[in-house]
Amino acid sequence: MARWQPKASERLALAALELFAERGYENTTVIDIAQRAGLTKSTFFRHFQDKREVLFGGDTMTGLLVEAIAAAPATATPFEAVAHALDAAGREAFTPARREFSARRRAVIAANPELQEREALKGLGLTAAMTGALKRRGVPDLTAYVAAELGALAGKIAYERWSETADGDDYSEYVQRAFGEVRAASASC
């Protein structure tokens, strides 16, 4: 087996998803995942801390969101900066080629409480990162927190809708619709 394999983390994530769907999360080991991907256990641990993390992409999304909030137009409201960030990050992370994987990933997570817990923790981390990025833009604490929370809700809605469809609009369209709906709903509260 070669020492370096291209796209190892993607191959590991796909192998884990397949195995979790076939055997269940509890009945799948790191060795099983590595073997299915044609890699070694040590390669797995170079990319992921444990088998739970393999479906959660490390800190990639966090970095994309923080960078995009910083790059949002200076005139953007906090909520618009978060919308800009989720749109920018989504265009990179949620491509049409990833739609099927995302739908399968959501189904595997829904079937396993431990993965649901990890998904919730990941969401909290993303919200905290967006809050911090907004504060660095000079947004007051409470406003930053509310904008990040509402943005996270809109992002979750967009991701669920996008991954449930076989084809159709780009992720950006789902983000824009979800942000409009969340804005309208929060205005009527």
What is the number of alpha carbons within 13 Å of residue 25 lying toward its C-beta?
19
Predicted structure pTM score: 0.85
Per-residue pLDDT of 93-130, as tens digits, reads 888 878 888 889 999 999 999 899 999 999 999 999 99
Judge whether 3 lies within some domain. Answer: no
Kindly state whether residues 49 and 102 are assigned to the same domain.
Answer: no
Element (H, E) at 135: helix 113-136
**Is 173's pLDDT higher than 70?**
yes
More confident residue, 34 or 98: 34
Residue 70 CB neighbours (<10 A) = 13
For residue 44, give the nearest of 27, 32, 59, 26 by alpha carbon: 32
Kindly state whether residues 148 and 166 are assigned to the same domain.
Answer: yes
Task: Decide: residue 54, CB within 10 A, 0-12 exposed, 13-18 middle, 19+ buried.
Answer: buried
CATH of the domain at 131: 1.10.357.10
pLDDT band for position 138 (cuts 50, 70, 90): very high
Q: How many structural domains is the chain composed of? A: 2
pLDDT band for position 58 (cuts 50, 70, 90): low
Judge whether 28 lies within some domain. Answer: yes
Kindly state whether residues 163 and 103 are assigned to the same domain.
Answer: yes
**Cα→Cα distances 93→35, 37, 68, 113, 131, Å:** 26, 21, 13, 25, 20
Kindly state whether residues 33 and 62 are assigned to the same domain.
Answer: no
Kindly state whether residues 178 and 163 are assigned to the same domain.
Answer: yes
Judge whether 150 lies within some domain. Answer: yes
1/48 Cα distance (integer angstroms):
20
* Opening angle at CA 61, ends 57 and 64, nearest 5: 145
Kindly state whether residues 32 and 98 are assigned to the same domain.
Answer: no
**Mean pLDDT on 36-47:** 93
Structure token pair of residue 88 = 């920018």
